[in-house]
A and B are shown apart, each in its own frame.
Chain A
Amino acid sequence: KQEVTQIPAALSVPEGENLVLNCSFTDSAIYNLQWFRQDPGKGLTSLLLIQSSQREQTSGRLNASLDKSSGRSTLYIAASQPGDSATYLCAVRPSSGNQFYFGTGTSLTVIP
């Protein structure tokens, strides 16, 4: 079974700082990896999806990278803003099987 780990569980940074969130997975045989954002009491909003053949994806101030061989993905957030405060989840889709496996998330607080 794929195990997905996100460290740290919580992160607090001052506004304007660039930051990196980490996601590691145990089985490198993946189909794709997806980063989500979850605001308190809300659903999951997709941020970026990286296919196994890709190294990175970018959307605005967000950049996600994927290194399958080392079982790692990072989500880079540039020039953080208070509105970025949320929990960020990564989910891994193995090459076989029908589901994504989720990490427990990193709770980000951006201090004005």
Chain B
Amino acid sequence: NAGVTQTPKFRVLKTGQSMTLLCAQDMNHEYMYWYRQDPGMGLRLIHYSVGEGTTAKGEVPDGYNVSRLKKQNFLLGLESAAPSQTSVYFCASSYAGGYDGYTFGSGTRLTVV
């Protein structure tokens, strides 16, 4: 089925470890986004991309890096994980301008101990 796929679905990290979350979409969407969702905080934008080779900061970018080397993939990296980064991470994609809204992945549940 067409859509947004996130890997992994679950991960436990120790403080200071690094990891990369992968988001892949097969809808030929130009825009891709990484959000984190925390209880009582709603969804907050970490980084986004408006096309291959582009990235931009969102609302809460500190501690994260991203790359969009291919149009269909958007990677979110944590260089040195902290307990404050324990969260559920969602990737989303849309056509340019979002005229047809967002399509979301199923999420990655990350725990940093």
Query: Could you mark each residue 23-41 of chain B with 1 if its beta carbon is under 8 Å from any beta carbon of chain A, else 0?
Result: 0000000010100000011
Please give the residue numbers on chain A whose beta carbons come within 8 Å of chain B beta carbons, in ascending order: 31-32, 34, 36, 41-46, 49, 51, 89, 91, 93, 98-100, 102-105
B97 & A31 in contact (Cβ 8 Å cutoff): yes
Contact with A98, one of B41, B50, B104, B109 (Cβ below 8 angstroms): B50
In the complex, number of A-B residue pairs with CB atoms less than 8 Å apart? 53
B98 contacts A31, C-beta separation under 8 Å: yes
Nearest residue in B to A35 (C-beta to C-beta)?
B101
Contact of B104 among A41, A44, A51, A104 (CB under 8 A): A44
Q: How far is the CB of A25 from chain B (nearest CB, A)?
A: 13
Cross-chain pairs A/B with CB under 8 angstroms, 13 sampled: A31-B98, A32-B98, A32-B99, A41-B109, A43-B90, A43-B104, A44-B90, A45-B104, A49-B100, A93-B98, A98-B50, A98-B56, A102-B43
User: Which A residue sits closest to B97, measured CB to CB?
Assistant: A31
B111: Cβ under 8 A from any A Cβ: no
- Cα of A3 to Cα of B98 in the assembled complex, Å: 18
A6 to chain B, nearest CB (A): 9
Since A36-B104, A44-B102, A103-B42 are in contact, a sample of 17 more A-B pairs with Cβ atoms closer than 8 Å, ordered by chain A residue number, is: A31-B97, A32-B99, A32-B101, A34-B101, A34-B102, A42-B107, A43-B107, A46-B104, A51-B99, A93-B101, A98-B48, A98-B50, A98-B98, A99-B33, A99-B58, A102-B42, A104-B42
